[in-house]
Chains A and B, each alone.
Chain A
Amino acid sequence: DVKVTQSSRYLVKRTGEKVFLECVQDMDHENMFWYRQDPGLGLRLIYFSYDVKMKEKGDIPEGYSVSREKKERFSLILESASTNQTSMYLCASSLWESSGANVLTFGAGSRLTVL
Protein backbone atom coordinates (compact mmCIF):
# COMPACT_ATOMS: atom_id res chain seq x y z
CA ASP A 1 0.00 0.00 0.00
CA VAL A 2 1.05 3.54 -0.71
CA LYS A 3 2.02 5.41 2.36
CA VAL A 4 1.84 9.18 2.54
CA THR A 5 3.39 10.52 5.71
CA GLN A 6 2.88 14.02 7.04
CA SER A 7 5.52 15.02 9.54
CA SER A 8 3.36 16.91 12.00
CA ARG A 9 -0.10 15.86 13.14
CA TYR A 10 -0.82 18.98 15.20
CA LEU A 11 0.92 22.35 15.16
CA VAL A 12 0.29 25.60 17.01
CA LYS A 13 2.01 28.68 15.62
CA ARG A 14 1.84 32.42 16.18
CA THR A 15 0.83 35.02 13.62
CA GLY A 16 3.79 35.96 11.43
CA GLU A 17 5.77 32.78 12.01
CA LYS A 18 7.11 30.76 9.09
CA VAL A 19 5.58 27.30 8.95
CA PHE A 20 6.84 24.21 7.13
CA LEU A 21 4.59 21.22 6.52
CA GLU A 22 6.42 18.18 5.22
CA CYS A 23 4.99 15.29 3.22
CA VAL A 24 6.75 12.12 2.09
CA GLN A 25 5.39 9.29 -0.07
CA ASP A 26 7.04 5.93 -0.49
CA MET A 27 5.64 4.59 -3.77
CA ASP A 28 7.44 6.61 -6.41
CA HIS A 29 4.31 8.56 -7.35
CA GLU A 30 4.79 11.34 -9.86
CA ASN A 31 2.10 13.67 -8.57
CA MET A 32 1.77 15.29 -5.18
CA PHE A 33 -0.81 17.71 -3.84
CA TRP A 34 -1.55 19.98 -0.92
CA TYR A 35 -5.15 20.63 0.10
CA ARG A 36 -6.74 22.42 2.96
CA GLN A 37 -10.05 21.34 4.43
CA ASP A 38 -12.40 23.66 6.26
CA PRO A 39 -15.93 23.00 7.55
CA GLY A 40 -18.54 23.82 4.93
CA LEU A 41 -15.92 24.51 2.27
CA GLY A 42 -14.67 21.01 1.58
CA LEU A 43 -11.23 20.28 0.21
CA ARG A 44 -9.54 23.06 -1.70
CA LEU A 45 -6.37 22.59 -3.74
CA ILE A 46 -3.48 24.85 -2.76
CA TYR A 47 -0.65 23.60 -4.98
CA PHE A 48 0.30 20.48 -6.85
CA SER A 49 3.41 19.08 -8.47
CA TYR A 50 3.67 16.59 -11.32
CA ASP A 51 7.44 16.25 -11.28
CA VAL A 52 10.52 17.16 -9.29
CA LYS A 53 11.03 20.93 -9.16
CA MET A 54 7.72 21.46 -10.96
CA LYS A 55 4.83 23.16 -9.22
CA GLU A 56 1.46 24.48 -10.26
CA LYS A 57 -0.97 26.73 -8.44
CA GLY A 58 -4.24 25.28 -7.35
CA ASP A 59 -7.38 27.19 -6.47
CA ILE A 60 -6.14 29.00 -3.36
CA PRO A 61 -2.34 29.51 -3.57
CA GLU A 62 -2.23 32.94 -1.96
CA GLY A 63 -0.11 33.00 1.17
CA TYR A 64 1.51 29.64 0.43
CA SER A 65 4.52 28.31 -1.43
CA VAL A 66 5.79 24.79 -2.07
CA SER A 67 9.02 22.95 -2.68
CA ARG A 68 9.67 19.65 -4.39
CA GLU A 69 13.40 18.98 -4.50
CA LYS A 70 13.03 15.19 -4.44
CA LYS A 71 10.36 13.00 -5.98
CA GLU A 72 9.18 11.60 -2.67
CA ARG A 73 8.96 14.88 -0.74
CA PHE A 74 6.59 17.81 -1.14
CA SER A 75 6.71 20.67 1.34
CA LEU A 76 4.14 23.38 1.99
CA ILE A 77 5.44 26.68 3.32
CA LEU A 78 3.51 29.46 4.99
CA GLU A 79 5.91 32.40 4.81
CA SER A 80 4.04 34.46 7.41
CA ALA A 81 1.24 32.56 9.08
CA SER A 82 -2.09 34.29 9.60
CA THR A 83 -5.12 33.29 11.64
CA ASN A 84 -7.14 32.60 8.50
CA GLN A 85 -4.68 29.82 7.68
CA THR A 86 -5.87 27.83 10.67
CA SER A 87 -7.06 24.64 9.01
CA MET A 88 -6.54 20.93 8.37
CA TYR A 89 -3.86 20.46 5.70
CA LEU A 90 -3.91 17.28 3.68
CA CYS A 91 -1.12 16.02 1.48
CA ALA A 92 -1.87 13.50 -1.26
CA SER A 93 0.02 11.65 -3.95
CA SER A 94 -1.13 9.94 -7.11
CA LEU A 95 -0.14 7.97 -10.14
CA TRP A 96 -1.87 8.02 -13.52
CA GLU A 97 -3.40 4.55 -13.87
CA SER A 98 -3.69 2.59 -17.12
CA SER A 99 -7.41 3.40 -17.01
CA GLY A 100 -6.52 7.06 -17.40
CA ALA A 101 -7.63 7.84 -13.87
CA ASN A 102 -5.56 9.80 -11.39
CA VAL A 103 -6.27 8.25 -8.00
CA LEU A 104 -5.36 10.21 -4.88
CA THR A 105 -4.01 8.72 -1.66
CA PHE A 106 -4.03 11.04 1.34
CA GLY A 107 -1.77 11.42 4.31
CA ALA A 108 -3.15 11.59 7.85
CA GLY A 109 -3.38 15.37 7.80
CA SER A 110 -1.78 18.20 9.75
CA ARG A 111 -4.03 20.35 11.87
CA LEU A 112 -2.55 23.83 12.09
CA THR A 113 -3.73 26.45 14.56
CA VAL A 114 -2.42 30.00 14.15
CA LEU A 115 -2.87 32.21 17.21
Chain B
Amino acid sequence: QKEVEQNSGPLSVPEGAIASLNCTYSDRVSQSFFWYRQYSGKSPELIMSIYSNGDKEDGRFTAQLNKASQYVSLLIRDSQPSDSATYLCAVDSGTYKYIFGTGTRLKVLA
Protein backbone atom coordinates (compact mmCIF):
# COMPACT_ATOMS: atom_id res chain seq x y z
CA GLN B 1 0.00 0.00 0.00
CA LYS B 2 1.53 3.27 -1.11
CA GLU B 3 1.35 5.88 1.60
CA VAL B 4 2.04 9.53 2.26
CA GLU B 5 2.38 10.44 5.91
CA GLN B 6 1.94 13.84 7.49
CA ASN B 7 1.59 14.96 11.07
CA SER B 8 -2.01 16.14 11.42
CA GLY B 9 -1.11 18.99 13.78
CA PRO B 10 -2.17 21.56 14.59
CA LEU B 11 1.21 23.16 14.14
CA SER B 12 1.12 26.53 15.86
CA VAL B 13 3.70 29.19 15.08
CA PRO B 14 3.82 32.89 15.97
CA GLU B 15 3.43 35.49 13.26
CA GLY B 16 6.74 36.18 11.52
CA ALA B 17 8.25 32.79 12.39
CA ILE B 18 9.21 29.96 10.02
CA ALA B 19 6.68 27.16 9.72
CA SER B 20 8.12 23.77 8.81
CA LEU B 21 5.80 21.11 7.40
CA ASN B 22 7.00 17.58 6.76
CA CYS B 23 5.90 14.63 4.67
CA THR B 24 7.25 11.13 4.09
CA TYR B 25 6.25 8.76 1.31
CA SER B 26 6.63 5.04 0.79
CA ASP B 27 6.83 4.59 -3.00
CA ARG B 28 10.47 4.87 -4.10
CA VAL B 29 9.53 5.39 -7.76
CA SER B 30 7.64 8.59 -6.96
CA GLN B 31 8.61 11.32 -9.40
CA SER B 32 6.62 14.45 -8.64
CA PHE B 33 5.82 16.07 -5.33
CA PHE B 34 3.32 18.78 -4.57
CA TRP B 35 2.13 20.94 -1.73
CA TYR B 36 -1.47 22.10 -1.76
CA ARG B 37 -3.00 24.62 0.64
CA GLN B 38 -6.61 24.15 1.67
CA TYR B 39 -8.56 26.73 3.62
CA SER B 40 -11.48 25.49 5.68
CA GLY B 41 -14.46 24.76 3.44
CA LYS B 42 -12.48 25.43 0.27
CA SER B 43 -10.78 23.23 -2.30
CA PRO B 44 -7.02 22.56 -2.46
CA GLU B 45 -4.85 25.01 -4.37
CA LEU B 46 -1.35 24.25 -5.60
CA ILE B 47 1.38 26.29 -3.94
CA MET B 48 4.57 24.37 -4.72
CA SER B 49 5.80 21.53 -6.92
CA ILE B 50 9.22 19.89 -6.83
CA TYR B 51 10.65 17.17 -9.01
CA SER B 52 14.35 16.86 -8.18
CA ASN B 53 16.42 16.62 -5.01
CA GLY B 54 17.24 19.85 -3.27
CA ASP B 55 15.44 23.09 -2.57
CA LYS B 56 12.99 25.09 -4.64
CA GLU B 57 12.05 28.59 -3.57
CA ASP B 58 9.03 30.68 -4.53
CA GLY B 59 8.55 33.84 -2.53
CA ARG B 60 8.09 32.95 1.13
CA PHE B 61 7.77 29.25 0.32
CA THR B 62 10.59 26.72 0.00
CA ALA B 63 10.04 23.08 -0.88
CA GLN B 64 12.76 20.58 -0.03
CA LEU B 65 13.06 17.09 -1.49
CA ASN B 66 15.29 14.22 -0.38
CA LYS B 67 14.50 11.14 -2.46
CA ALA B 68 17.02 8.95 -0.65
CA SER B 69 15.20 9.56 2.62
CA GLN B 70 11.78 9.68 0.93
CA TYR B 71 11.10 12.99 2.55
CA VAL B 72 9.63 16.25 1.32
CA SER B 73 9.10 19.41 3.33
CA LEU B 74 7.63 22.88 3.01
CA LEU B 75 9.04 25.92 4.77
CA ILE B 76 6.99 29.07 5.08
CA ARG B 77 9.07 32.11 6.03
CA ASP B 78 7.61 35.16 7.76
CA SER B 79 4.39 33.26 8.50
CA GLN B 80 1.21 35.32 8.38
CA PRO B 81 -2.22 34.65 9.93
CA SER B 82 -3.47 34.26 6.34
CA ASP B 83 -1.22 31.19 6.02
CA SER B 84 -3.41 29.39 8.55
CA ALA B 85 -4.80 26.45 6.60
CA THR B 86 -4.36 22.73 6.07
CA TYR B 87 -1.38 21.81 3.90
CA LEU B 88 -1.64 18.65 1.84
CA CYS B 89 1.38 16.78 0.57
CA ALA B 90 0.80 14.87 -2.67
CA VAL B 91 3.00 12.39 -4.50
CA ASP B 92 2.73 11.23 -8.09
CA SER B 93 4.49 8.11 -9.36
CA GLY B 94 4.08 9.04 -13.00
CA THR B 95 0.65 7.52 -13.26
CA TYR B 96 -2.66 9.30 -12.98
CA LYS B 97 -3.03 8.37 -9.35
CA TYR B 98 -1.79 10.92 -6.90
CA ILE B 99 -1.38 9.79 -3.33
CA PHE B 100 -2.40 12.52 -0.88
CA GLY B 101 -1.46 12.81 2.76
CA THR B 102 -4.23 13.66 5.18
CA GLY B 103 -2.77 17.12 5.73
CA THR B 104 -1.16 19.21 8.45
CA ARG B 105 -3.21 21.98 10.00
CA LEU B 106 -1.16 25.14 10.44
CA LYS B 107 -2.18 27.92 12.82
CA VAL B 108 -0.28 31.20 12.67
CA LEU B 109 -0.84 33.18 15.86
CA ALA B 110 -1.06 36.97 15.57
Contact = CB atoms under 8 A, between A and B. Distances in A.
Interface of A: 31, 33, 40-43, 45, 48, 50, 56, 58-59, 90, 99-109
Contacts of A109: 42-43
Interface residues on B, range: 20 to 34
B70 interface: no
The DSSP consensus for interface residues of chain A is strand
Given A48-B96, A102-B92, A106-B45, A42 B32 contact: no
Nearest to A41: B102
Top 5 closest pairs, chain A to chain B, by CB: A42-B102, A106-B43, A101-B32, A43-B100, A109-B43
Interface in B67-110: 88, 90, 92, 94, 96-98, 100-103
A56 to B, nearest CB: 7
A31 to B, nearest CB: 6
